[in-house]
Structure 1
Amino acid sequence: MTIKRRDFLTFLGGMGGAMLFDAFPRNPNIPRFSMPFMGSESSSQAFAANSSQLSFKPIKGVMPLVTDAIAPSQQSQAYKNVEVVDDLVLPEGFVYDVIAAWGDRVGDSRFGYNNDYLSLVETSNNEGYLTVNFEYISRTPWEQAYEQVIGKSLPFKEVDAALKAADKQEIDVWSLADSDPLKSQITLIAKEALTDVGIGVISVRRNPDGKWVRTNSSADRRITGLSGLEDGRYLKSTGPAVAVFRKEKGLGYTDQLGDRIVGTFHNCAGGTSPWGTVFSAEENYQEFVPEAVMADGTSLSPSKKKFSQDNIDLFGVASVFGLSGNKYGWMVEIDPANPNDYGTKHTWLGRFRHEAVGIRAEAGKPLVFYSGCDRRGGHLYKFVSSGIVKDPKDKANSKLLESGMLYAAKFNADGTGSWIALKTSTAINPHQLDVLAGKMLPLPQRPEGGIFKATKEEEIAAFKSKFKTLGDLYTGSDREKQGAILIDAHYAANAVGATCTARPEDTKIAPDGSLFIAFTSGSVSSSDGSPDLRIFKGADGKAYEYGWIMRLNEDANKPEAMKFKWSLVATGGEPAEGGLGFTNPDNLAIDRGGNIWMVTDISSDKYNLAIPSRKDKSDKPVSQSNLRGLYGNSSIWFMPTSGTDIGKAYLFGFGPMECETTGPFFSRDQQTLFLSVQHPGEVTGLRKDMAFESRKFAMRTTTGKEFMQTRKVPIGSNWPSRKPNDSPKPAVVAIRKVDNTAI
C-alpha cells in the first residue's frame, strides 16, 4: 500500500485524526501512559502545541523532496550536481560531540563495535547512565583497524591462508582437535569478536557548555558475548524456557550450564522501562549459533553453525566455544545503576530475531511488551503479564515478566487484527502460500527437528492434518512444552497463522498508548520468507522494498486487549511514486510532542550505488533493491504527528559513508539527541588519500520528471576523526543545538 499525503489526510479524516495521530488526545478521560523518563504531562502538552513549527531548517539531501522548499520546476537544476560527504551532516545551528568510540576503555574491558541502541537513564538533570548495544562485527574495517585501535595483532592472514589452502569456505571449529593450530587461531579471532559485541554501560555528565562527557564511575561495565565463560559473570534467565535450559539430556545439544547463560550478542535495538532498566534485543543470533531447535527445545549441535567469513561479516564465532543456540535470540534486561547486574533473559518474551521493544506500563493494568522479529516474513509479538502493575516506576515490575502469555499478531486486510496465543492448546492453522509474496513458509520439522520450507499447498494441508495444536509439535512436560514453544517462537507463530510481515523493526509506544511499528522492507527472502501481500504491498500489488510505518491501536485502548486496529501512516519510496523520500525505516524515537524521529537502514552495498539508467543491460527495470542507491547515505528524519505539517517527512541528518545511524534517544529535557553511528566504511573500509568517485544517477523530481545527477561519492570512510587515512570507527554522539535549547 502506498499512501500519498493527500490520501493520508483524507484517511485521517475518515478514521478520526485525534485517535490516530494526535499525540495528546483532547478527551481528558483517556489516561496518559508512563513514558521512560519523560517530563510532566503539562510540559509535554506545551511542547505539542508548537509541534507544527520546526526547530530546525531541513538539510538538503541527494533526492528532491516535497519538504525541501524547492519548486519541482527547479529541482532538476538544484540537484544536478551533488557532493556526498563523509561526516554526520546536521542542520545549521546543530553540532555533535563524540562521547565514546570503539576501543575506548569501559570498566575492565573496552567500548565495543557497531554500537546500536542507546538509552540514557538520568540520575539528575545533567547526569546519568548511557547503556549501549554492540551488535556485530563488520569484518573489513574491523580487521583493517584492529591492531591500531586495540594494540595487538590477530592471525587474520594465517586463517585466510589456511581456509584457501584447504579449499573451504567454512569450517567446523567446534569439532577440530584442540592441538590443531587452526583451531587456536580461529579461537583467538572469535574471542576478540565476541568481546566487541554485547552491551556496555558508561556514566556521563553534561557540562555547563552543553557537552556530555564520560565520568568513568564504578558502574561502568561491559557484558560481552563471552561474559561468564571465564569471569563467572553469567547472565540469568526466567520463564518456561528455563525448564529446557536445565535439561541434562535432550533430543539435541545441551551446554550443561542449566539456567546460567554465557554472554549476549547481536544486540540491536531495545527499550527503556519506566522503572529505569534497559532492554537489549538479541537480533541476528543465527549468524553466530544454530537457530533451529529440536522438538524438546534443545539446540542443534554447535557443529551445525560453522565458522566462515565474507567481506562484511564473521559467522559461527559463538559455536567455536560450544555456546547453546537456544539461549540466544532473547530480550535482555539490565539495570545500569547496579554494577553487579550482568543481565537477565526473560523467556516469556519469546526467542526470535528481536529488534526492539515497546513497553506499556499503566497502574492497575497488566504489563505489556511489544516486539518485532526482524526478518522477511517475521511477526509482531505482544507479551501480557499475569500480574498487575501497581506503580510503573517500581523496579519490582521486572518480576511481572516471569508469568504471562506471548501472543503473535494476525492482521486483517480491513484494518483490524487480533492476537494469537502461543500456547500448547492453540490450533495449527498456517498461512495459505498464495497470499505470501514468496510463496514459501518455514515450519517446524517433526520428528526430525529443525524446520522445512513448505512451497506447496499440499505440504500445508499435510502439516495441518498431522498436527492439530502447538502442543503436538513439542515434547516434554507442560512447562517444558511451553518453554520449547517460546524457544521456537517464530516457527510456532508460522504454524498457527500469525501474519508474515515486512521486517518489523522498531516498536515505540506513543503518549496516547498506541504503538508505532517500523516495517523496514517488504521484499522476499528465499531463506526466511516474505510478507502477506494482503497487508504489505506496493501500488502494483506486489512486494515493496522501501518500507512503512504503522500505527496500531488496541481495542478500547486497553493494553491487554485481544483485538486491535491498524493503519499504515508513512510510506517509503520516491515522492513521485507516493513515498516520503526515505527508504527502509528502522529505529524510531518519539519526542515530547508525540512526533516521530526515524533513522533508515539501507543495505551497505546499496549506499550510493550508481543508477545511470532505470533499465538494466537486459532492458528490464532496475530492481527496487538496487534503486536504493538513489537515496544516498543513512538518514535521519522528523515526522510531525499533529499540526499543519502532519503527513510530511523532513530530512534532519545524513550519516557518514557506508554507516547506519541507529538508536536515537532524547535526554529528558530534549536538549540532546543521542545517536549511534554504526559501521562507517563497512564495505570499502578505510578511505585512502581522500579518494572519491563521480557517479551518475537517473533521478526524478517530485512530479516524476527524470533528470541525470552527477554525484561525488567518497570511497570508504575516515569518520569520526575525519582525518585523511584514519581508520573509521563506530561511535556514539550527542547532538545538540549550539545555543543548547530544546531540539
Structure 2
Amino acid sequence: MTRKPLPLLSSGHSGGSRSAMTCLYRCGNACDHPAPNESGNEYFGDMARSEVSRRGVLQAAGAGAIVLGLAGAGVAGSSEAAEAAHGAAENAANSWRPGRGPQPLTFGAVEPNTADALTVAAGYAQSVVIRWGDAVVPGAPAFDAYNQSPAAQEKQFGYNNDFVAILPLDHSDRHALLVCNHEYTNEELMFPGFTGLANLTVEQQKTAIAAHGMSVVEIERVRGTGQWRPVAHGRRAYNRRISALSTKFRLTGPVAGTASVRTAADPAGRTVIGTLNNCSGGVTPWGTVLSGEENFNQYFVGADGAPQEAKASLDRYGISTATRYPSGSRQWDKADPRFDLTATPNEANRFGWIVEVDPFDPDSTPRKHTALGRFKHEAANIVIAPDGRVAVYMGDDERFDYLYKFVTHKRYRPGDNRHNLTLLESGDLYVAKFSYTSAAEIDGSGKLPGDGAFDGSGVWLPLVKDNRSMVEGMTVEQVLVHTRLAADKIGPTKMDRPEDVEANPVTGHIYVALTNNTQRGTAGKAAADEVNPRNANKHGHILELVEDRGDHAGTSFTWSIPIVCGDPADPATYFAGYDKTKVSRISCPDNVMFDRSGNLWISTDGNAFGTNDGLFAVPLSGPEAGHLKQFLTVPKGAETCGPALTGDGESLFVAVQHPGEFSGASWDSPASVWPDGDHAKPGIAVVWHPDGRSIGR
C-alpha cells in the first residue's frame, strides 16, 4: 500500500533551513549549541597585507604533477589476486587525464522545487542503483522493516549514504566498485512504531550501530547505456560491509599505542572497533579510499563523569560535559559500554580520524591515520606535489574552525603498493592562516572591495613538523589527539564551516566549500573578514587556493573567492563576475567535484531557500566562467551527496541522503516515499544521457 507523504514541514531550527530532525540525528544539534571554538586567537593575521595577484599560474612542473586517484589498493599482505587488481586499478587511475580546456555546459537549468522526486536536467535518464536494506554480502536476507537485526544490517546496504567513489575494475568503464559512506542513522524513519530514542531495544540500538560505516558493492554497466546496477549475487567477490558494530580498524602513526587511545578492551591502544559518522572522503592515487569521521561527538554519553583533565578537550569537540545524557542522545551505552565516557574516557579519542579502506581486498583491515590529526573531518583529498610527496587537504566542519593540510614525509612511488600504503603514517600537519588585500573595506555585507575581488595570500602554519611538535607546551601525541586545541594556540583563521576540499585536475588549484555560518558577526563572535566576507552567512561560499609555485607541499599560497552563494538578485552574491540574471541560485555548498574539463560541480546541504537541495555545475575559466546552473534536485527533505563521475564522464552517481527527514515524520507517517513509493529510504542513483554524451553536455 502506498502511503501518502506528509506535507513539507518547517523546522524552526536556528541554524538555517535544515529540519530540526536532521540537526538532531546528523550532528547532535550542533547549531543549537555555542560554537566549540571559543578561543581568542586573532584571525586577521599579522602578516603584511601586500597586494597580491587574484589568480596564480602553476609552473609546468606543478601542473604536470597533479594526480587524482580513481582506483583501489590493498594493505601489506594482500592476496596475489588482490595485488593484481590493485595494479590494474592504479594504472586505470593514473591514466585518467583532464580534458583540453573548458567544455561548455549545455544542459538547461532545473528550476527550484519541492517535489518528492529526483529531478534531473531535461533529456537525462535516471535510476536507483542501491538503497538502504538491499543485499550487499552473500547470505543477506531480504529487507524487512519489521524484523530488522544487527546481523541482517551488517550484510545489507547501510543507512544515510554520503560519499561515493566509483573505482574501475577494468579499462572499459563497464565494471567497477561503488564505495559509499553510511554517515548516520535516523531511528524515527528506520523503525516502525518508534516512540523515542530512550525506548529503543538493545537489538534496535545495535542495528542502528551496524547501519553506520561503509559499503563496497560491485556494479556493472547496463549494456549500451550509462545505467549501472549491482552485479549478480554469485559474482560479488569484493562486496563488503564495514560497520561501527564489529569491524576492526588498526591505528597507525604517532598516536597508535599511546596512553591517549588505550582502553581496558584495547590495552595496546592499536585496535578500534568501528567507524562513526563518516561524511565525505577521497580516493588516493594508489587506489585506496579515504573517509572522514565527522560528528562522532554525538554518540558518546557520560562525559560529565570523565576525568577533569579531559573535559576541556571534550568540550572543544562538542561532547557535553554538563550532563550524562545530552538532549537527543541515542544512549548507545545501553548496548555497548564503550560509548560511556565515565567508564571509558579514552574511547572518544579513538574517533575523529581519517580512515583508509582497501576496497579490493575484503579481508583487509581498515586503518585510522593519526598523523593527519583528529577533528571533525569532512573529507580528505590528495594531490601529488612536484617532488613526489603527497599533500592531503582537509576541512574541519564546524563554525569558526579551520582548514588543514598534511604533507607526507615519504614520496609516492607509482606501482609500489606496499610503500604507498605507508605514506599517510608520517608527515607534517599544517593549519591555514589568511591575510587580505582589502581588510579595511570589509563591512560584513558581502559587498566587493574596491579592487573588485575578495583575495589575498596565506601561509600554512605548522602543527607537527619533522616529527616534532610546533605548539608550545604540547607533545606530538597531544597535538594530534587534541588538534583543535593545538590549532587554537597558533592563531589560524576561523572559517565558515570548511567542508569538502578538492583539486581542479586541469589547473591544480584547490577549491573549498564553506557551507555557512549564521553566527559570524554576532555578539562575542568573530566578525566578517575578507575570506569570510559576510556576517550572518546563511548561504556560504566557494574558496580558491593557489599554492605558490604550484608546490602543494609548500607553505604559502594565494587565494580568492570565485562564488559567493545566495540569490543572484541579492547584491551580496558574486559569480566570478558573470551576468547574475542568467545564474541559478545556490545555498549551502557541501561536496564538490570536477569533471575532466575542470568544471566545478557543487552539491548543497540544507539550502536556506526552503526548496530541495541539488547539484550545480559552473565553469571556472573562459567566457562562461561563473555561469552556475542547477543540474538536478533531490527529493524533499534530502541532502545531495556524492557526487561521482565515471572515468568516461558518461554516468553521474549521486547519493540521496535522508529523504523525508522532517520533524513529525516517521516510518509509519513518511514525509517522503522516495524511491519506491512506500517509505523513505536513502539510496544511490545514477544519471546518464540516452545518447551517450558526457554529463553536462
TM-score (norm 2): 0.73
5 Å matches for 1:132-147?
132-144=180-192
2:238 alignment partner, one of 189, 214, 219? 219
Q: Distance in 1 between matches of 2:406 and 2:496?
A: 20
1:662 alignment partner, one of 641, 647, 652? 641
2:86 is equivalent to residue 45 of structure 1: no
Report the counterpart of residue 413 of structure 1 in structure 2: 436
5 Å matches for 1:344-493?
344-362=367-385, 364-391=387-414, 394=417, 396-414=419-437, 415-423=456-464, 470-472=471-473, 474=474, 481-493=475-487
Which moves more between the two structures, 522-531 or 377-386? 522-531
Q: What is the SS of the residue equivalent to 1:192?
A: helix
1:115 alignment partner, one of 161, 175, 178? 161
2:539 is equivalent to residue 535 of structure 1: no
2:646 is equivalent to residue 595 of structure 1: no
Q: Distance in 2 between matches of 1:395 and 1:359?
A: 18
Report the counterpart of residue 118 of structure 2 in structure 1: 88
Report the counterpart of residue 498 of structure 2 in structure 1: 504
Deviation at 1:139, TM superposition (A): 3.3
Deviations 1:489-531 (A, max 9, x none): 1121112111110100000011222211000013228999966
Deviation at 1:257, TM superposition (A): 5.4
2:542 is equivalent to residue 549 of structure 1: yes
The answer to whether the 8 A contact 1:204-1:213 is kept is yes
1:736 alignment partner, one of 688, 692, 695? 688
Q: Distance in 2 between matches of 1:664 and 1:286?
A: 26
Deviations 1:322-359 (A, max 9, x none): 14100100010011001112410001111100001120
Deviation at 1:109, TM superposition (A): 1.4
2:287 alignment partner, one of 269, 276, 280? 276
Q: Distance in 2 between matches of 1:373 and 1:405?
A: 17
Deviations 1:591-628 (A, max 9, x none): 100110011011xxxx7xxxxxxxxxxxxxxxxxxxx2
The answer to whether the 8 A contact 1:598-1:637 is kept is yes
The answer to whether the 8 A contact 1:194-1:318 is kept is no
Q: Distance in 2 between matches of 1:504 and 1:523?
A: 14
Q: What is the SS of the residue equivalent to 1:410?
A: strand
Deviation at 1:424, TM superposition (A): 9.2
Deviations 1:250-288 (A, max 9, x none): xxx885352000100100000011111100110000111
2:217 is equivalent to residue 202 of structure 1: yes
Q: Distance in 1 between matches of 2:462 and 2:308?
A: 21
2:298 is equivalent to residue 287 of structure 1: yes
Deviation at 1:557, TM superposition (A): 0.9
Letter in 2 for 1:289: F
Q: Distance in 1 between matches of 2:285 and 2:331?
A: 36
Report the counterpart of residue 615 of structure 1 in structure 2: none
Q: Distance in 2 between matches of 1:43 and 1:360?
A: 14
Q: Distance in 1 between matches of 2:498 and 2:377?
A: 9
267 and 208 in structure 1: CA distance in 2 versus 1, 3 angstrom threshold:
same
Which moves more between the two structures, 289-298 or 580-589? 289-298
Deviation at 1:365, TM superposition (A): 2.5
308 and 103 in structure 1: CA distance in 2 versus 1, 3 angstrom threshold:
farther
Bigger Rg over Cα: 1
Letter in 2 for 1:568: I
Letter in 2 for 1:574: D
Unaligned residue ranges in structure 1 (runs of 5+): 1-13, 20-24, 63-83, 148-155, 164-181, 228-232, 429-468, 475-480, 608-627, 692-714
Report the counterpart of residue 128 of structure 2 in structure 1: 98
Which moves more between the two structures, 559-568 or 575-584? 575-584
Report the counterpart of residue 696 of structure 1 in structure 2: none
Report the counterpart of residue 338 of structure 2 in structure 1: 322
The answer to whether the 8 A contact 1:596-1:640 is kept is yes
319 and 377 in structure 1: CA distance in 2 versus 1, 3 angstrom threshold:
farther
Report the counterpart of residue 559 of structure 1 in structure 2: 552
2:69 is equivalent to residue 36 of structure 1: yes
Q: Distance in 2 between matches of 1:275 and 1:681?
A: 38
5 Å matches for 1:572-587?
572-578=565-571, 579=573, 581-587=585-591
Q: Distance in 2 between matches of 1:96 and 1:516?
A: 28
Q: Distance in 1 between matches of 2:619 and 2:356?
A: 31
The structure, 1 or 2, with the larger RCO (C-alpha pairs under 8 Å, 6+ apart) is 2
Cα RMSD between the aligned structures? 3.6
2:257 is equivalent to residue 243 of structure 1: yes
Q: Distance in 2 between matches of 1:399 and 1:298?
A: 33
Deviations 1:391-444 (A, max 9, x none): 28846322111111111111112311111111499999xxxxxxxxxxxxxxxx
Q: Distance in 2 between matches of 1:339 and 1:245?
A: 31
Q: What is the SS of the residue equivalent to 1:133?
A: strand
Give % identity.
30
Deviation at 1:90, TM superposition (A): 0.4
Q: Distance in 1 between matches of 2:566 and 2:215?
A: 35
Deviation at 1:314, TM superposition (A): 3.8
Q: Distance in 2 between matches of 1:663 and 1:556?
A: 31
1:644 alignment partner, one of 613, 623, 626? 623
Q: Distance in 2 between matches of 1:598 and 1:399?
A: 32
Q: What is the SS of the residue equivalent to 2:279?
A: strand
Aligned pair count reads 558
Deviations 1:287-332 (A, max 9, x none): 113799976899979996845664xx84656994314100100010
5 Å matches for 1:132-211?
132-144=180-192, 156-157=194-195, 186-210=201-225, 211=227
319 and 270 in structure 1: CA distance in 2 versus 1, 3 angstrom threshold:
farther
Deviations 1:656-678 (A, max 9, x none): 01000101011000111111000
321 and 526 in structure 1: CA distance in 2 versus 1, 3 angstrom threshold:
farther
The answer to whether the 8 A contact 2:428-2:466 is kept is no
5 Å matches for 1:304-323?
306-307=324-325, 310=328, 314=330, 320-323=336-339
The answer to whether the 8 A contact 2:69-2:93 is kept is no
The answer to whether the 8 A contact 1:407-1:421 is kept is yes
Q: What is the SS of the residue equivalent to 2:436?
A: coil
Deviation at 1:196, TM superposition (A): 0.7
2:515 is equivalent to residue 520 of structure 1: yes
Q: Distance in 1 between matches of 2:96 and 2:409?
A: 32
Q: What is the SS of the residue equivalent to 1:486?
A: helix
Q: Distance in 1 between matches of 2:480 and 2:68?
A: 28
Deviation at 1:61, TM superposition (A): 2.1
Deviation at 1:586, TM superposition (A): 0.5
The answer to whether the 8 A contact 2:434-2:531 is kept is no
Q: Distance in 1 between matches of 2:261 and 2:116?
A: 51
Report the counterpart of residue 495 of structure 1 in structure 2: 489
The answer to whether the 8 A contact 2:381-2:392 is kept is yes
Letter in 1 for 2:179: T
Q: What is the SS of the residue equivalent to 1:658?
A: coil
